[in-house]
Structures are given as structure tokens and as C-alpha cells.
Structure 1
């Protein structure tokens, strides 16, 4: 038996619901011969009568009633499938794979995800904690959809990067330390230091700041977790040069003083993704939400 046609099932159900071929034809915007052909083809495929043609009203046979009952489920499932596909195309549902650093995850991303949940509750974001270099590599490989990366980055084919945010780099020091109001490379190079790992963009940014003043200090410890570095500062282990989000205040970090650098230093973050024609609706919608948190350069 050939596969059943949803249009033929819809015709059968309309006839049973409305009672006549002509009423079904009018409701479905079909010619009456087409309605008759649908039923004839169904009955041929099943090799059984589906309708009893009375003088005033058409009634289903037992086979017709069973097929109509199952047909209603199929039509509902088909409608639901089309609805879900449309929502995915429009970006109302879907999964977006995002790569970013620990600092952004802690301070900014929760606000982004909260806004996304309000606007698009059907979008699920899978977050990977990665350095900017690995994020760019995985974007190029296709295993990520969006990256929040430190800039500048080495250009990668088919990956676009636009400015997102800029945060001032600050000196995080134990409160018991006697420190100048503005922290210079000369003063900081003489202190116990906590650095990011050498593989990170933050490490190179910090070392370039020292190098311009003629210094190349070594750290007591190197790690790639911003909040752990702040905890070590709070415990008096050493000083760190870290970005400060604009929502962040010194009161959030007990036993820590946060002082500006001299000369000043900025950490820039960009949004990296493939060209818009190559991404799905859910990814485009997350990009729109990220844009709400964009800072003007």
C-alpha cells in the first residue's frame, strides 16, 4: 500500500465532521470531484469502504471511523512539527553553543542569559569556558556558534568579530598593603604578583603594560580563573591586574583595594561568529540580546 496522504486524511475527516462531500469541498476549498477522488484513492489503498453514503448525511464505517481517529492524531503531529520548525527557523527555539572566559561568565553573562530567557525562553545556551584562542579555533571548526573573545585577535577565515565591551584593567591589592593612589608598573613590579596563565590574552596584555615601562616581572602563581585570583588577593597572597566590570565595586571583594593603573590599560571584548546568512535563528536572536549589552567604542 502506498503511503497515506495527509490531504486525503483531512478530506476524510472533513466529510465525517460536516456530513457531506459538498460541505467538505467548500470548507477545504477543493472541487467536489477532488474530494471524491481523495476518498476513492483511500478506499482503494485500504481495500475497504470508509463512508456510508446516506440520503442526507454521510457516515463513517468502522474502518473509516478508526482511520479518522488516527488521522486526527497524525494531522495534529504534523501541525506541531511545522510549528516547531517555524519557531526554530525564526529563532524562537534552538540551542546556541557559546564560548567565553570565566570573568565574563561570572559578571556579565548571567545578565545576558536572564534577558534572553525573558525574550526567548525556548533558546538553550550551552556555555563552554575557554580562552579566546581556543574559542576562535572552535568557531572555525564549527563546534561553537558564538564566542566572546578578547581583542584584537588574529583574523580567522569566515569569522566576524565586532566590538562588544571595554573594561578598565585595575590593580587588585590586599587592603593591608600601603599603595599609591595610582599603580605604576615600577611600583607593582616590586610586589608579589598573581598572573593569568601565559597562554591567555590577559597575560600578554598585562606583560605588554609592564614591558612598555621596561619591566618583566615574574608571578608567584599563574592561573586562568579570575575569581580564584581575586580570592588569593583577598587572602593577602599577592596583587593581580584584572578587568573591572562597570557593575563591579570594591565592596564585593573583602580585604581588597581596587586601584587604577598609570598608565591606564583597557581590556576589549568582541563578539565572534560566522556571517549572518550562515547562522540559524536562535544564534541571531542571541546576537541581538548581546547587542543590548554592547558599549559604544
Structure 2
């Protein structure tokens, strides 16, 4: 059996979506006899009836539905392959896959994307919510282009991690609690706590901060969504340790107490990507814009 023809597959999907041969022909800018030929050749190649013709509309058979479902993925993969060639060739157009945590997406990434849109409107950034470890793994596998990750990270071959930003960690305490002006591990360890998810770098950072002072508290709940953690703190459910983001946290000062830690603790972020020789032009442009927001 010969390989599937993607044009014929696209025709079948258009018929499934639009319900008639004529509508599919119009959408695909094909003559209606060409649409009919695509389907007959596809059915002949597969040895299965794919569409059922009615008096006014056409429906796909169970075999056709199975092919349509998988065909959508095949066409998407084909489009991504073509897009990858265009990104490499043109540099200013294309899609860049970026992974980072929810906190970075909410607090830091919007201003970066705004600047990128102004300077390189042809570049589309696809953002995935990922922990730092998963982002590094996907970078190594080639399924991610850029990761905004907590540092330090274990070195991985052909990956580059450069410093980007630093954020002081703060104690977020319910508004009605009596808290010291500077929050120590000894005081915080006795309070109900909300930690980040145990798989995150922020969790390990907090645990090490307590451990260095001889404490090992347990959390009431672990989450991986900073806004939800802040909301639980505001509701009095517990205290948390989160990075300070002045632009976002101004609105939270009225709902929670945001207090410095003693000893101080800092979360550091880096830009992770493949080395320059393996980066396409669109990814390089996004990295350049990210560096514009690097703390000096």
C-alpha cells in the first residue's frame, strides 16, 4: 500500500467538517471533481468506505472518522515541519515554544511578549506551563525552544543557561495574624504552611531555608499556582514563601502581609536554550528580547 496523500487527507477532513463535497471544494479552492477524485483514490488505497453520501449532505463512516481523528494530528505535524523550515530560513517568522512556571507567566512574561510583539510581530510564542526540570528535559529532547528556569540547573550537553533575573523570596502571611517584622524559620515553622509543589525548585529552596536553621515543617497543602497560594493566604488558610514581584504584589498588600525573610532568600531565574549553532532565527530573536529584560 502506498503512503497516505496529505492533500487527499485534507480533503476528507474538510468534508467531515463542512458536510458536503461542494463546501469542501470551495474551502480548499479545488474543483468539485477533484474533491471526488481525492476521496475515491483514498478509499481505493485504504480498501475502506470513508464517506456516506446522503441526499443533501455527506457524513463520514466509522472508518472515515478514525482516519479523520488521526489525520488531524498528521496534518498538524506536517504543518509544524514546514513551519520549522520557514523559521530556520527566515528568522523573523515562526513559532517559538517557551516553557516556564505559572508565576513567571503571570508576573514577568507579559512585558516580554509585549516588547516582542512590537519588534517582531511575525513571531508567535507558544507558552507551556512547566517546572524547571521538565523544561530542561524538553529542551534536551528538542520539543521546547526556550525555558525560563530556576537556577542553578544540572548541566546538560548542548544546552546553555544564562542568568536572567533575581527575585527576593518573601513571607506571605494572612492579614489577621500577629507576625514579626522579619520572618524567621523558627517562627514560620510553627505556623500552618502552604508550600509550592514538591517537584518545584521553589519547594526545594524553601525546604533548604528551613533545614539550614534546623527545621523541617510539613505543609498543609502543596500547590503549583502562585495566585491560588496568595488567595489561600488571604483567606487565612496558611502562610507561604513566594518571590516578590512588585508590579503584581502591589494589589496584594491590602489582602496579605508581605514580610521579608531573615535570613534573606533569593530565587534566581535563567534563560535556557540550545547553543547558538542549533538555534533557529526566530528563537534567537526571542532570546534577544528576553535579554533586554535582564537585571543588570
Q: Same fold (TM over 0.5)?
A: yes
Within 5 Å, give how 1:56-75 maps onto structure 2. Answer: none
| Equivalent residue number for residue 21 of structure 2 | none
Partner of 1:49: none
Q: Is the 8 A contact 1:230 1:253 kept in 2?
A: no
Give the superposition deviation at 1:255.
1.9
- Alpha-carbon distance change, 90 to 188 in structure 1, aligned in 2, over 3 angstroms: same
Question: How far is 1:213 from its partner?
Answer: 0.4
Residue 165 of structure 2 corresponds to which residue in structure 1? 165
Q: Which residue matches 2:203?
A: 203
Q: TM-score, with normalisation over the residues of structure 1?
A: 0.69
Partners of 1:185 and 1:92 in 2: CA distance = 49
Partner residue in 2 for 1:178: 178
Residues 223-273 of structure 1 deviation map (CA, whole Å, 9 limit, x = unaligned) = 111111011001111000000124343433542010000000000000000
Task: Summarize deviations over 1:52-89 as a string: whole Å, max 9, x none.
Answer: xxxxxxxxxxxxxxxxxxxxxxxxxxxxxxxxx88863
Q: Return the alpha-carbon distance in structure 2 between the equivalents of residues 113 and 226 of structure 1.
A: 20
1:272 correspondence with 2:254: no
Gaps of at least 5 residues in structure 1 are 1-84
CA contact (8 A) 2:166 2:268 kept: yes
Does the CA contact (< 8 Å) of 1:162 and 1:271 recur in 2? Answer: yes
Q: Mapping of 1:1-297 within 5 angstroms? A: 89-252=89-252, 254-296=254-296
In structure 2, runs of 5+ residues without a counterpart are 1-84
- Shift of residue 197, structure 1, vs aligned partner: 1.1
Deviation at residue 112 of structure 1 after TM alignment:
0.5
The answer to whether the 8 Å contact 1:192/1:219 transfers is yes
Which residue is 1:24 aligned to? none
Alignment partner of 1:294: what SS?
Answer: coil
Q: Is the 8 A contact 2:195 2:223 kept in 1?
A: yes
- Alpha carbons of 1:249 and 1:196: their partners in 2 closer, same or farther (altered >3 Å)? closer
Structure number, greater radius of gyration: 1
**TM-score, scaled relative to structure 2:** 0.69
